[in-house]
Amino acid sequence: MSGITPIHASDLEFDHGTFDSALFAAQTLANWQALAAVIDHTLLKPEATREQVEKLCDEAMRYGFACAMVNPMWASTAVHLVSGSGVPVGVAIGFPLGASLVSTLRQEAVALTRLGVRELDMVMPVGQLKSGNYQAVQRTIHAVATVAHHHGALLKVILETCLLNVEEKLRASEIAIQAGADFIKTSTGFSTAGASAADVALMRGVAGARVGVKAAGGIRTLADVKALLEAGANRIGASASVAIVRELEEQQTVNS
């Protein structure tokens, strides 16, 4: 990334392919099963118990969520619980600060993918980005992407948008994509704010059709999900997943 030039709003005019957000949102909201298939059912609170992880995995299988998302210590438990169901396990790494050593992130990625984890959500090194150390940011993400892809796993890179200005969001999105991210993601849900439709739209503008955009953080209602899908998200991370899909099911039952 040596000699990288600043990324400005005008750079979004470059053709990165087209992602039809309106069509995707309409198809996803057509029924609760389609909606569940794009939601990462998430339990990342530090006090989560084994019983709660078991419940999360049971719900992920019952509703057909995109994945069961847990912290590293519960990875082997979750992989065992969902075995044979077709629901993958996702794990957050470098979480929630984005301040881990590259070697630590790489070791986490290797250990987790060997356990059978198929989706990794890593926090971008936010401090390095804000310091202007763009090569370090790219190297960090690329190191994890290389491990993930070698083991057949997806990598989602969390930008933590609430800590970034507009130009930093644009630059972070492009760096993550260039470094091998499969998704760029808004938030950890542990900082000062979560997902917003404006940030999702900005990130989709950079991504085009090249990678996915995941909205996460503070998503609690069907209305939240609808706004984020229409802005350009094609994956949602939520702990209120069951309530959200039930809300859609109830709406459709009333309207049928």
Answer whether 200's CB lies under 8 Å from 233's CB.
yes
Marked catalytic residue, from 156, 169, 182, 214: 214
185 is catalytic: yes
Please calculate the CA angle 107-79-63 and round it to the nearest 5 degrees. 130
40 is catalytic: no
User: Which amino acid, 204?
Assistant: R
Residues 6 or more apart whose CB falls under 8 angstroms from that of 249 comprise 32
Marked catalytic residue, from 156, 185, 199, 224: 185
Annotate 231-245 with DSSP letters as a single string: HT-SEEEES-HHHHH
Strand 212-216, strand 67-70: pairing: unpaired
Nearest Cα neighbor of 159 from 203, 223, 117 is 203
Marked catalytic residue, from 121, 182, 199, 224: 121
224 is catalytic: no
What Cα–Cα distance (Å) separates residue 24 from each residue in 27, 230, 231? 5, 8, 10
What Cα–Cα distance (Å) separates residue 132 from each residue in 82, 171, 178, 202? 41, 10, 17, 20
Active site members: 121, 185, 214
